[in-house]
Amino acid sequence: MTSGILGIMACPILEDELVYSLSNDREEKDIFLLDNDHNKMIIPKLEENGVPYTLLNERSFLSGEAEIPGDGYRIVIWMMDLGLHEEPENLRIRIRELMSDFQEHVDAIALYYGLCGNGLKGIEEWSSSNLAVPMTICKDRFGKVCDDCICVPMGGTDNYLRLLKKYPGIMYFTPGMACSFEEFMDSMELFRGVEKGDREMFKMVLEMADYKYVMKIQTGLGDQKNFQRCVEEFAEEYELEVMELEDGWVSTEVADLTYGRAKSLLNGHMERAA
């Protein structure tokens, strides 16, 4: 039986995998969601999947004024700003700062992130030297940290490299990306230096990079009601053709491994503390 507080810091693009894991975990647990401006997409997903949660004031929790009640298995979800991806160095610095704050209030940390342009390269080594609680990040079955948010539904690095080799120069869209494509575009390395919301410049960059297709990657997770519509709207706005990845590529393996590893770390930490 799991006990202790698992702190989850999640990129909005990977919230579909997080909701999937929470909804499929039948163990009794109390879930708390820190209330901030980055929750607008995950809240309806939690509710649609029947995952009960309690909103908790972010500032009060991090200051120690609001404590997590009860005992047993408790989860605190802290959704991150998608804009952190704009600069890998800023992502590296900020995530480390936030983890340092978060560790004061949880017993283990799970990062729902990949390397993200190498912004989080070395985060495990840094954490082992600087944090008092264990942490994990999205990794494949071989222990490799996933490169980015496409690598996760591909099941890890090897399959992701196969995808890139077979379908190069294509904009990949999972439901999480498609249904928040405006914010996602603003955060992409491809558009670094382009003013936020400058759609004409975005279109020009895509043309210069010779992008002709957007690929729909059906994970079966997230906002299925609007997935197709969002892909089509994006394709129309940026004059791209839509193609769909064939069956057999997508997997929830990384999501399963990440969540399972986080629970194991939590149990191990609590046993040592006892």
User: What counts of helices (H) and strands (E) characterise the chain?
Assistant: 11, 9
User: pTM score, two decimals?
Assistant: 0.93
Angle between the 88-102 and 123-130 helix axes, to the nearest 10 degrees? 30
Where does the pLDDT of residue 272 fall: very low under 50, low under 70, confident under 90, or very high at 90 and above? low
Q: How far from 158 is each of 129, 142, 247, CA to CA, in Å?
A: 29, 10, 17
Check if the beta carbon of residue 12 is closer than 8 Å to that of residue 44: no
The pLDDT score that the predictor gives to residue 270 is 57
Q: How far from 250 is each of 123, 169, 218, 241, CA to CA, in Å?
A: 26, 19, 8, 21
Q: How far from 230 is each of 46, 180, 181, 182, 234, CA to CA, in Å?
A: 20, 8, 8, 10, 6
Residue ranges of domains in the chain, CATH in brackets: 4-147+252-273 (3.40.50), 168-244 (no CATH)
Q: Find the Cα–Cα–Cα–Cα dihedral 229, 111, 97, 183, rounded to 10°.
A: -10
Check if the beta carbon of residue 144 is closer than 8 Å to that of residue 154: no
Mean per-residue pLDDT, 89-94:
93
- % pLDDT > 70, the chain: 93
- Which residues, in sequence order, are CB contacts of 135 under 8 Å at separation 6+? 99, 108, 109, 110, 111, 123, 124, 127, 265
- Residue position matching structure tokens 């010779």: 210
* Bridge partners for 73 per DSSP: 4
- Tell me the per-residue pLDDT of 6-53, one tens digit each, with 9 for 90 and over: 999 999 999 999 999 999 999 999 999 999 999 999 999 999 999 999
Where does the pLDDT of residue 100 fall: very low under 50, low under 70, confident under 90, or very high at 90 and above? very high
Residue closest to 33 by CA, chosen among 75, 92, 89, 91: 75
Where does the pLDDT of residue 114 fall: very low under 50, low under 70, confident under 90, or very high at 90 and above? very high
Assess whether pLDDT exceeds 90 at residue 205.
Answer: no
